[in-house]
Amino acid sequence: MSVLYKLETFEGPLDLLLHLIDKAEINIQDIPVTEITEQYMSYLLSMQELELEVTSEFLVMAATLLSIKSKLLLPKPPIIELDDFDFYEDDDYDPREELIQKLIEYRKYKGIAEHLHERESDRSLMFSKEPEDLATWMPTESVNPVLGLHTADLVAAFQKALRKVVKRNSYSRIHRDEITVKDRIRAVVEALQRGGKGSKLLFSKLLHEDMVRHEIVVTFLAILELMKMKQILCYQERLFDDIVMEWRGEEELHGIPEIEIDY
């Protein structure tokens, strides 16, 4: 008849001893070394029968248990009295004390490890991510357009709007000023011919403060026509400087092409 052994896996000899103590419901402070040693040796024999590898630390613990067992079985040595000193062993000395302290310390750290393992298992069921800026998804509060204004300010704004409406309904008559490019050409030529051939004149000298926009435009067109007719030469001393006009034509301008400048 075959026997089936089922052995648990232990992390070390202290783990095995603690398992045997808890299984037997023994007070760790009062370990029955004989009983625990027999159970421990039985476990090692079971490992050997199953051809499991028995590490050296398990064998060291077995030797330690056997040493503690032998010390408890041996009688205490007699007291040696000398003239000045008495040599004897302490009555409270317990060879199990060192092993008990190791087991207590191991149980404490094992409990902490189990607690941390439970925390790890609980935390593995949770999913977390870095916080994001959700300000763009927050509802925006509309700003009150009349915040900080008083009744007097609203009345002033209403009166201003009424004045704009009155101006919008008013109209004016536009009068066309009869000024042609031909007239401005004659004026420019007369101004240049006063100095004779090679005389120079600045464009700003042809303008005055009372001129309106269309008069300035017509004067500039007149200069372009004279340049086209090769009667004047225009240039600037520097960038954005005043335009210099130099008279290059004859003393008197004979005939002006009516078709080109009649506008």
116 & 188 share domain: no
**Domain edge (last residue) among 124, 147, 171:** 124
Per the domain annotation, does 50 fall within a domain? yes
**81 confidence band (pLDDT: 50, 70, 90):** low
Q: What is the pLDDT of residue 38?
A: 82
Predicted confidence (pLDDT) per residue in 95-127, tens digit: 778 888 888 888 888 889 889 999 998 888 888
Q: What is the pLDDT of residue 3?
A: 44
The total number of structural domains in the chain stands at: 2
Residues 120 and 42 in one domain: yes
> Are residue 24 and residue 113 in the same domain, yes or no?
yes
CATH at residue 199: 1.10.10.580
Q: Would residue 204 count as lying in a domain? A: yes
Do 34 and 111 share a structural domain? yes
Residue 67 pLDDT > 60: yes
Q: Of 79, 121, 76, which Cα lies nearest the Cα of 95? A: 76
Three-state DSSP at 234 gives strand
Span 5-37, pLDDT tens digits: 444 567 778 888 888 887 777 777 777 777 888
- 196 φ/ψ sector (left φ>0, alpha ψ -120 to 50, else beta): left
10 Å Cβ neighbour count for 116? Answer: 10
Co-location of 19 and 120 in the same domain? yes
Both 193 and 99 in one domain: the answer is no
Of the pLDDT bands very low, low, confident and very high (cuts 50, 70, 90), residue 90 is low
Q: What is the model's pLDDT at position 225?
A: 92
Is pLDDT at 85 greater than 80 in this prediction? no
**Looking at the domain assignment, is residue 137 inside a domain?**
no
Last residue of a domain, one of 104, 124, 144: 124
Q: Has residue 195 been placed in a domain?
A: yes
Distance between start and end Cα atoms, the chain: 132
Residue 53 belongs to some domain of the structure: yes
Q: How far apart are CA 100 and CA 96, in angstroms?
A: 6
For the segment 187-243, what is each residue's pLDDT rounded down to a tens digit?
888 888 877 777 888 888 888 888 888 888 888 999 999 989 888 889 898 888 888
- In this structure, the answer to whether residues 23 and 92 fall within a common structural domain is yes
Which range marks the domain in which residue 216 is found?
A: 181-261
Res 116: pLDDT = 92
Residues 185 and 119 in one domain: no
Does residue 199 lie within any of the structural domains?
Answer: yes
Tens-digit pLDDT profile for residues 242-253: 889 888 876 555
- Inside any domain, residue 110: yes
Which residue among 87, 108, 124 closes a domain? 124
The verdict on residue 206 lying in a domain is: yes
Two structure tokens written together for 237: 């001393």
